[in-house]
Amino acid sequence: MVRMASVLEFVEYRPKNEQVQTITDPLTKIRIKAGNVATGSGLAIANLFKAALEKHGIVVDHNNYSTEGLSVKNIIDKNSYFSKTGFADDENLVADILVIGTVARYEERIGSKIAVDRPASVGFSIAVVDVKTRIVIWAGKYEKKQIALFDNLLDYSTFLKGGMVWTTANELSAIGVEKAISEMGFESLARN
């Protein structure tokens, strides 16, 4: 049973080479399409996860564990992630699960709710780690570039969840966070 979760600021991936098209998250081994990543987007997505988990009945540890200096390049695996964030020592472990991830794309829309020159686009990976065993118990990703409803009628659910307007990157990320939490099954975990 999950009683408490810690959510770390997601690592913001910025390739040195603009030719990089995709990255492989070292924690999840999931490939994500790379793009521009706005400063602060890792914290924004972590905060969305904290709020969504609390909404689903999971207590969230609001200690701020530093992810400063972390990058996709210096995280070899989940153990290096733990040691670089202060989770290597058992006395720091107050949660049952740890939600961590990487932001590979966080591009804000250019335009308004009604008309855009460039729509919002986001891409991030998520890993849920059992704190005691250090085992990744769930991993996934969310990638979405909002497109006009008439360009893809099959994506009507994102259009409706976004309020039937052009969304911001944060609003698009919130849809992804809710989708991930639904896939993780936290509703049932919180009730046990």
- Neighbouring C-alpha atoms within 13 Å toward the C-beta of 120: 23
pLDDT at 159: 57
As a whole number of angstroms, the distance between CA 36 and CA 32 comes to: 13
**pLDDT digit string, tens, across residues 83-126:** 656 555 555 567 888 898 899 999 998 877 776 778 889 999 99
DSSP 16: S
Number of domains in the chain: 1
Answer yes or no: are the C-beta atoms of 157 and 175 closer than 8 Å: no
pLDDT at 3: 82
- pLDDT tens digits along 124-145: 999 998 888 878 899 999 998 8
Nearest Cα to Cα of residue 98 among 18, 14, 9, 185? 9
Report d(CA 26, CA 46) in Å as an integer: 18
The pLDDT tens digits for 40-80 are 999 999 999 999 999 988 999 876 665 555 554 545 455 66
Q: What is the pTM of this model?
A: 0.81
How far are the Cα atoms of 91, 161, 186, 187 from residue 57, in angstroms, in the given order?
25, 22, 8, 7
Query: Once rounded to an integer, what is the mean pLDDT over residues 167-189?
Result: 85
pLDDT confidence of residue 149: 47
Give the domain CATH number at 77: 3.40.50
* pLDDT of res. 98: 86
Cα separation, 27 vs 121, whole angstroms: 22
Structural domain boundaries, residue 66: 4-191
Q: Is 136 exposed, middle or buried (0-12, 13-18, 19+ CB in 10 A)?
A: middle
